[in-house]
């Protein structure tokens, strides 16, 4: 089975140790009416399998979020336009809107309770990093 068909329904891989990142992923999934699947970098077997299939050995894919769809894997800034397209596609292809998906679990920051990922400074740093980084791994078209 080709990567394009494996990811016919998009997968958003995000940092599941980060509260704002989890909120971002769950909001994208909810806005797409469930069309966009979500998986955390650290606690999801689906994300681990996807990273092994897509990225070269030794590549650290955990540095940014990834939207993986039929055309390839799009990271951070490069993933925003395809994410918007998949949200709109979800309005027509998705299931029902699930507001419960917007509630995120408690914040974990490398297991250290004293370090909070809720702080505005941390959210700003992550946003700045996302907007300054981007990468794309296109899938070979299977004709």
Query: pLDDT per residue over 28-74, tens digit each?
Result: 999 999 999 999 999 999 999 999 999 999 999 999 999 999 999 99
Q: What are phi and psi of 12, to 5 degrees?
A: -105, 115
Instruction: Give SS3 for 73.
Output: strand
pLDDT of residue 118: 61
Domain ranges of the chain: 3-138
Instruction: Give SS3 for 116.
Output: coil
> Distance between CA 35 and CA 104 in Å, rounded?
18
**Beta carbons of 55 and 61 less than 8 angstroms apart:** yes
Query: pLDDT per residue over 76-104, tens digit each?
Result: 999 999 999 999 999 999 775 554 444 44
């Amino acid at each position: 089975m080709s990567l394009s068909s494996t990811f016919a329904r998009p997968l958003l891989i995000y940092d599941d140790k980060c509260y704002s990142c989890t909120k971002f992923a769950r909001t994208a999934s909810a806005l797409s009416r469930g069309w966009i699947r979500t998986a955390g970098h650290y606690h999801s077997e689906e994300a681990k399998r996807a990273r092994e299939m897509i990225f070269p050995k030794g590549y650290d894919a955990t540095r940014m979020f990834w939207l993986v769809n039929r055309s390839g894997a799009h990271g951070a800034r490069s993933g925003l336009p395809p994410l918007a397209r998949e949200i709109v596609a979800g309005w027509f292809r998705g299931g029902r809107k699930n507001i419960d998906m917007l509630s995120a679990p408690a914040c974990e920051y490398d297991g250290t309770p004293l370090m909070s990922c809720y702080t505005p400074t941390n959210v700003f740093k992550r946003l700045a990093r996302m907007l300054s980084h981007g990468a794309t791994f296109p899938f070979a078209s299977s004709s």
